[in-house]
Amino acid sequence: MLENTVIKVRDQEHGWKVINWFKSQGVDTSYVDADHIFSSESRGDALFYYGVIDGQFENWGKGYVGSSRVRIIELLEEAVNEPELNVIL
């Protein structure tokens, strides 16, 4: 179940992989359009976690994600082709 689950986006390329992975899991990612510039820690942005919290997919800040009810997972390179693979941090 992906409710209250997010992935930290490293950069623009990784952001698209994260979006495609969530799509492959049946998540409505229409919040992100084709021109989306991904927030990322490397850019110094504050809202660099992307995922589903309380039924809504979008990008989230570290403070909000720090809640104990939110799982942070890491998208492994293998998960891009095999969506069931991920690691819970």
**pLDDT tens-digit map of 13-62:** 899 899 999 999 999 998 887 778 888 888 888 889 999 999 999 999 98
- What pLDDT is stored for residue 53 in this prediction? 93
pLDDT at residue 88 tops 50: no
- What pLDDT is stored for residue 89 in this prediction? 39
- What pLDDT is stored for residue 84 in this prediction? 55
pLDDT at residue 82 tops 90: no
Classify 50 as helix, strand or coil.
Answer: strand
In the chain the beta strands, taken as DSSP E runs, fall at: 5-8, 49-53, 56-60, 71-74, 87-88
Token pair of 75, please? Answer: 């998208």
- What pLDDT is stored for residue 21 in this prediction? 92
Range of the structural domain that residue 16 is part of: 5-88
Task: Please give the tally of structural domains in the chain.
Answer: 1
